[in-house]
Structure 1
Amino acid sequence: MIAEPTRQLRLLDLQAIDTRLDQIAHARTHLPQLAELADLTGKARLIDDQLVRSRTELADLQREVAKAEADVQLVRDRAARDQARLDSGTGTAKDLQALQHELATLARRQSELEDVELEVMERAEAAESDVAELERGRGELSERIAALEAERDQALARLDAEVAAVGGPRPHVVSDVGADLVALYEKIRSSSGGTGAAALRQRRCGGCQLELNATDIQRIRAAAADEVLRCEECRRILVRTPESGL
């Protein structure tokens, strides 16, 4: 096993690796693309819901238009037959008079039905325009979402590559530090915001950034080289370095 001072210095290497890995993990969940994707995905769902309603409304109106056109055509066909009978002059005067009366009634009915047909057609055109506008907006949204997803995937790939590069040496560093010290380090790290070990530099703890008092400095000076020291303030493992100022 490597010498104790070197083992503790390797603990700082392990802390540096874990700190960067934590930063990468945080970056993965806070990519700028993720927030925009969540927002746009929500908007896409709303547009999809609107499209379902608008397409249903348009289909209903198109059926109404077809029915209105059929109703108008029926009246036109009846009027055409009556007009042909009237023009032929066949039948009694009473029959011909009845045809004239029916033609007048059919003309009024056709006018009413054509007004209905026109109103329904205008509503259908408006609904068709709404559907087209929603489809256009949804298409643009889909393009933006696809572009963001590509950017997100590229960013994640870069972070994954960095994880492999940064974390690759970790098993070797863990082996140098030793299971006992790593276990203590991991325990402290889990309860101290990710920092389990800190360097003592210029009489200041690198974990809590507080300067040690004279009593603590004297205690550290007197400690054996293989003694695992703890900061009295933050309780992190305190690693002596050439810059400790002892």
Structure 2
Amino acid sequence: MKAAPAVQRTLLDLAEIDIELNRVAHRRGSLPELTEITGIEAEAATSRDAVTAAATVLADLRRDADRLEKEVDQVRARGKRDEDLLKGGNVSARQVADLEHELESVRRRQALLEDELLELMERIEAAETQVSVAEGELAEVRQRLGDAERRRDEALADLGTVETRRTEAREAVVGSVPEGLLALYERLRAQKGTGAALLRARRCGACRLELDRTALSELRKAAPDDVVRCEECGVILVRTGESGL
């Protein structure tokens, strides 16, 4: 295959653009913010579970408190009924004794329930504090997640701008490369990661290996418009005054 030396040198511009586009693609998939976001999302899941657990405990305690309050109200109502009967004076002496005994039992039951309710209210207060703490921790995690996502989006936007500009530049360069030469370049790039490299000081710019005497002799014999390739890695070698031939 033949191509004018100036056209071959254009492949170096194309290769440089492709290297930069590859860097953009690699950078897009390896942003530190991506790893950071994954870690924070795991923290957020743990924090949400903590909030749910604390809220469940609080709900159970409040439900128990409602039950106890209703029971206390019932006991108080029973005690008041007994007191009203005693004050009414319309009961026999035996009924008075029974009512007084029952009233004493009711009062003991009421005191027990009220103590239990007081303890439960203290537990509710502690559970409310735990819910508040868990919600605060979740809010802090969400704030950090939002910050990381913002930084990720900014980085992706910057990469997108670079990619757009370099893609436009690539299209301009591609338009000046003959179809056959471009097809060879693209095939080599797909296979080896790069399609063309500068031969500088007898060393291939792609594999970084110095060519041996036989290869250098063949290159010296090649016409300036011959498209030559590295015997080691196979990419198109672009010869310039720096090649050392």
Q: Deviations over 1:210-244 (max 9, x none)?
A: 11111111110101222221111111111112200
- The offset of 1:74, in angstroms, is 1.1
In structure 2, how many angstroms separate the alpha carbons of the residues matched to 1:191 and 1:90? 109
Q: Offset of 1:100 from its aligned partner?
A: 0.6
Partner of 1:189: 189
- Separation in 1, partners of 2:75, 2:232: 96
Distance 2:180 2:126 in 1: 75
Q: In 2, distance between residues paired with 1:41 and 1:183? A: 45
For 1:51-108, what per-residue CA distance to the aligned partner results, in whole angstroms no more than 9, with x for missing partners? 2232223222211111111111111121122123223433111111111100111122
1:70 aligns with 2:75: no
Letter in structure 2 aligned against 1:189 = R
In structure 1, the gaps of 5 or more residues are none
Contact 2:5 2:225 in 1 (8 A): yes
Tell me if 1:245 matches 2:238: no
Say which SS state the counterpart of residue 225 (structure 1) adopts: coil
Q: Which residue of 2 aligns with 1:208?
A: 207
Higher deviation after alignment, 72-81 or 114-123: 114-123
What does residue 112 of structure 2 align with? 112
Once residues 50 and 34 of structure 1 are traced to their aligned partners in structure 2, the CA distance between those partners, rounded to angstroms, is 24
Map residues 154-233 of structure 1 onto 2, 5 A cutoff: 154-192=154-192, 194-233=193-232
SS of the residue corresponding to residue 66 of structure 1 reads helix
Deviation (angstroms), 1:135: 0.6
Q: Deviations over 1:170-195 (max 9, x none)?
A: 11211212221222222222222x22
Name the counterpart of 1:44.
Answer: 44
1:145 partner letter: L
SS in 1 for 2:237: strand
| Amino acid paired to 1:161 | T
Q: Structure 1 residue 36: deviation in Å?
A: 0.9
1:14 aligned partner, one-letter code:
L
Amino acid at match of 1:35: T
Deviation at 1:209, TM superposition (A): 0.6
Instruction: Judge which range, 79-88 or 95-104, deviates more.
Output: 79-88
Partner residue, 2:143: 143
The SS at the match of 1:238 is strand
Identity %, equivalent residues: 45
Alignment: residue pair count: 244
Alignment correspondent of 1:132 = 132
Query: CA–CA distance in 1 between the matches of 2:167 and 2:62?
Result: 63
Aligned to 2:17, what secondary structure does the other structure show? Answer: helix
SS of 1:176 mapped into structure 2: coil
TM-score normalised according to structure 1 size: 0.93
CA contact (8 A) 2:207 2:232 kept: yes
Matched to 2:30, the amino acid is H
- Is 2:19 the counterpart of 1:12? no
Q: Distance in 2 between matches of 1:157 and 1:213?
A: 46
| CA positional deviation for 1:137 | 0.7
Instruction: Please report the RMSD computed on the Cα atoms of aligned residues, expressed in angstroms.
Output: 1.7
1:3 Cα offset (Å): 5.6
The whole-number CA distance in structure 1 between the counterparts of 2:218 and 2:38 is 54
Question: Which SS does the other structure have where 1:169 is aligned?
Answer: helix
How far off is 1:112 after superposition?
A: 2.4
For the 8 Å contact 2:198–2:204, the answer to whether it is kept is: yes
For 2:185 and 2:34, locate their aligned partners in 1 and report how far apart those are by CA, in whole Å: 33
Whole-Å separation in 1 of the counterparts to 2:172 and 2:237: 21
Could you list the runs of 5+ residues in structure 2 that have no partner in the other structure?
Answer: none
> Partners of 1:165 and 1:182 in 2: how far apart?
21
Aligned 8 A contact 2:3 2:226 in 1:
no
